[in-house]
Amino acid sequence: MSIVECKTSDIQALSREFVTVAQKAATAVYPWIGRGNKEMADGAATKAMRAHMNHLTMDARIVIGEGEMDEAPMLYIGEKLGTGDGAPVDIAVDPVEGTNLVAKGMDHSLAVIAVAERGTLLHAPDMYMEKIAVGPKAKGCIDLNLPLSENMKAVAQALGKDVSELTVMIQDRPRHNHLFKQVFAAGAKVQMFSDVDITGAIATAIDELDIDMLVGTGGAPEGVIAAVALKCLGGDFQGRLLPANAEEVTRCHQMGITHPTAKLSIDDLVKTDNCFFVGTGITNGPLLKGVERLSDGRIVSHSFIATKNDAQFIETRH
């Protein structure tokens, strides 16, 4: 995978434009919240994203697209976007992270985009990934090859806490029962969530959210997007692909991953600091409020943008 270098200023100049891209996706989904049709919600977000991105001065391609498992018009892997001029960039995107949540009118859904210079994002196939994420104070202290209990001790030491004071975010799934047991055995706290582990990974780098670690198994594409966000925020992330069968191993090889089950550092997932992450809430979550309609008919969106050494929350009235 070749890396095409471009000026940091070129990438960062695009970041504000991509806030608008995420906002357009989230507001396009708003009429479909709670209406039981995830395909229409995803289609509305995808259409809005694609239309705006194609007007941007950039030479972009999708390396992680949405919805291999969703019946929706996809922003497909390899799709070219933008005017063809400007910064050569790769995009990892999920127009609706949490389509089932939107369809059911539930919390925690958002539109997410990660952008980096060409050739620097892992082309993660749509399969499971084992993950561990921490914020800046615990950077360099995690090791996916060690038991969770050992990682908790290292993180607690880095944070100046007792292990019993840690809060570990874990998705509420039977496959994580062994993780719950280790956290409880250490006397620490678990914060469970139903879907969207990108938010949990980012939460480790936001002091006000009081999350010390995210661990568990979730989607690999989402792992790359979360790694971009944490790269910008100074946090740390490790992952390991978990191909379920020979077909998934073959898919890894086809996407340039020669050792599918190797531990992946944050630098393996994102081979540059020249990147940014943008998310806009669709329904309410711990990181962002969802889209709201005011009494005068205007729409309000809530976004988060992380660039190199900078992060902002943005409220916009449309």
Q: How far is Cα 147 from Cα 128, in angstroms, rounded to an integer?
A: 19
CA distance 247 to 261: 14
Residue 220 to residue 27: CA distance in whole angstroms: 26
What is the distance between the alpha carbons of residues 27 and 292, in angstroms, rounded to a whole number? 9
The confidence score (pLDDT) of residue 4 equals: 52
Hey, how many other C-beta atoms are within 10 angstroms of the C-beta on 67? Answer: 22
What is the C-alpha separation between 147 and 152, in angstroms, rounded? 9
- Residue 264 CA, distance from chain mean position: 16
Q: Which residue is associated with the tokens 């990682």? A: 151
Instruction: Kindly report the length of the chain.
Output: 318
Is the fold of 11-118+275-317 the same as that of 128-269?
Answer: no
C-alpha span between 224 and 90 (Å, rounded): 12
Binding-site residues? 42, 66, 94, 97-99, 128, 173-175, 195-197, 219, 222
List the one residue out of 226, 63, 196 whose CA is nearest residue 132: 226
Binding residues for substrate: 97-99, 128, 173-175, 195-197, 219
- pLDDT by 10s per residue, the chain, length 318: 445 555 556 788 899 999 999 999 999 999 999 999 999 999 999 999 999 999 999 999 999 986 443 444 678 888 999 999 998 999 999 999 999 999 999 999 999 999 999 999 999 999 999 999 999 999 999 999 999 999 999 999 999 999 999 999 999 999 999 999 999 999 999 999 999 999 999 999 999 999 999 999 999 999 999 999 999 999 999 999 999 999 999 999 998 999 999 999 999 999 999 999 999 999 999 999 999 999 999 999 999 999 987 999 999 999
- pLDDT tens readout for residues 50-98: 999 999 999 999 999 864 434 446 788 889 999 999 989 999 999 999 9
Q: How far apart are CA 258 and CA 235, in angstroms?
A: 26
Q: How far is CA 46 from CA 189, 284, 317, in A?
A: 37, 20, 21
Is the C-alpha dihedral spanning 131, 132, 135, 138 positive or negative?
A: negative
Question: With contact defined as beta carbons under 8 Å apart, do 155 and 134 qualify?
Answer: yes
Annotated binding site for Mn(2+): 42, 66, 94, 97, 222
Domain locations along the chain: 11-118+275-317, 128-269
- Domain 128-269 adopts which CATH fold? D-Maltodextrin-Binding Protein; domain 2 (3.40.190)
CA–CA separation, 132 vs 9, rounded Å?
31
Eight-state DSSP code of residue 318: -
pLDDT of residue 69: 39
The DSSP string of 17-85 is HHHHHHHHHHHHHGGGTTSS-HHHHHHHHHHHHHHHHTTSSEEEEEEE-S-SSS-S----TT-EES-S-
With contact defined as beta carbons under 8 Å apart, do 89 and 59 qualify? yes
Supply the CATH classification number for the domain 11-118+275-317.
3.30.540.10
- In degrees, rounded to 5, the angle at the alpha carbon of residue 266 between the alpha carbons of residues 261 and 271 is 100
155-171: per-residue pLDDT in tens? Answer: 999 999 999 999 999 99
Residue 92: name the closest of 243, 224, 200 by CA: 224
Q: Which backbone phi and psi does 312 adopt, to 5 degrees? A: -140, 145
Name the pTM for this structure.
Answer: 0.94
